[in-house]
A and B are shown apart, each in its own frame.
Chain A
Amino acid sequence: MRFRGRSRKDEAPPQDTAPPPPVAPPGATPPVLVIDALGRKCPIPIIMLAERIREIPVGQIIAVLADDPAAHTDIPAWCRMKSQEFVWEETLPQGGWGFHVRRSY
């Protein structure tokens, strides 16, 4: 069990909340736009997502790469608030995650 507090660099980031699918769902559409927010703290990744989702056609996928653990909660929560579709989340080999979001309007 881990909830917060000092996170050591050699420790895997905790993932104890609502785990999204760890692998691409069958027939997953590849993203048409990938935003690199690695190393940026929340809310920057959310700001970048909100700004740039308008650049892709409705129905297409945008992926946000981020390594701030807050993005784990904030990107799905933003999608719920904004009625966008959170599709899945991948774990990046270099650390961090890729969050895949479908523009729904």
Chain B
Amino acid sequence: MPRVSPGYFDAASAEPLHPAGRSALVGALETAWADPARLYGAARSARLELDRARSRVAAVLGVRADEVAFTASGTQAVHLGILGSLRSRRRVGRHLVVSAVEHSSVLHTAEAHERDGGETAIVGVDETGRVDPAEFAAALRPDTALACLQSANHEVGTVQPVAEAAAACRAAGVPLLVDAAQSIGRTPVPDGWSLLTASAHKWGGPPGVGVLVVRKGTRWRSPMPDDEREGRRVPGFENVPAIIGAAAALEAFTADMTAEAPRLSGLVDMIRKRVAETVPDVQVVGDPARRLPHLVTFSCLYVEGEALLTELDRLGFAVSSGSSCTADTLRPSHVLEAMGVITHGNVRVSLPRGAEASAVERFLAALPDAVARLRAAAGVTGA
């Protein structure tokens, strides 16, 4: 089993491998290692297991198996989904609509599209990080090739109005791509989209598996050189054992979440309330009700995000931050920026399956002192 400490609260980066995913993966390493494109016995059985995994994922997502392609990551699914859509609709136009709080994989693809001579419209969000569906609809034009909206935000947990956006897109004849990486397995799949992307390691599957769903009747043409794999949608030899592990994990994780998501949501409510009560000068961000069940983000004034993460790590808690300034991201989180909320001192807590209430309690007990220590060290005298 993966070694996961009780203080691991970063499921939004990686959900620990689900036991059902692990046993399916280990079994498949023995039985499904051969090339599924070949014709001898071992290859045919790898093909059979791959297709069974595809059917299982399709059933959970409520789509047809031949609409599902496996990629090497959620990011690759987004790249292929967006670029393939844009390519197939080039005659319609080169206008792309995205929300301001999409995952970096979406926004980087939009940047690449612009460098390539295309045009991008960015739809802003309110202070909770939510897109206004009317504003999203208003951004659609006759030459819009594709619109992209996440199911829920990866940094603050706010759920987006996908059904409304999908209705507007349908009325305008524009395909909608939904990046559902943060919500698949945790909340029901929204309806009405044309393309959907997801990532297995967010639902307790192994890393290295993404999902690209292209609904029947949706135009899509590969932006990559020709390749026979995955219905000509994804180039390269499939990681069959990991895909099999991902499918088993998705079924088990989704079943677990029937009872587990409400429990985690209760813990998130507790964190939202207690952090606001016990930490001075703190802002809990994101929509308090229309949110993912397992994720909460808050910002502590006058504290550097990285220093706070390091201090919490020292105390045994693994969390993430939108304020982290690494070598290649010298700017604060584009999500917090778009919301117009404090970008420094940011902490994202995302609870994995089985997160213990007692560990959350310990975190809540340790946090106020950790923040106070860092403020004192920075010379903040209580503004």
Contacts and interface: CB of A to CB of B under 8 A. Distances in A.
Contact of A70 (B108, B283, B344): B344
B358 interface: no
B328 A6 contact: yes
Contact of B329 (A5, A17, A54, A77): A5
A47 B331 contact: no
B336 A43 contact: no
Contacts of B378: 43-44, 47
Given A7-B331, A43-B304, A73-B341, 15 more contacts: A1-B107, A1-B114, A3-B111, A4-B329, A4-B333, A17-B337, A42-B304, A42-B332, A43-B303, A46-B344, A70-B323, A70-B343, A74-B342, A74-B343, A81-B301
B302 interface: yes
A69 interface: yes
A101 B380 CA distance: 20
A73 B323 CA distance: 12
A65 B107 CA distance: 30
B-side interface size class: 35 or more
B379 interface: yes
Q: Which 4 A-B residue pairs are closest in the complex by CB-CB distance?
A: A50-B383, A3-B334, A43-B344, A70-B332
Interface residues of A, number: 30
Nearest to A68: B332
Interface of B: 100, 104, 107-108, 110-111, 114, 120, 122, 281, 283, 301-304, 323, 325, 328-334, 336-338, 340-345, 378-381, 383
Interface of A: 1-7, 14, 16-18, 41-44, 46-47, 50-51, 54, 69-70, 72-74, 76-78, 80-81
Contact of A46 (B120, B301, B337, B340): B301
**SS of B interface (majority):** loop
A42 B330 CA distance: 12
Most buried by A among B122, B333, B337, B338: B337
A73 to B, nearest CB: 5
Contacts of A81: 281, 283, 301, 342
Contact of A7 (B100, B108, B330, B381): B330
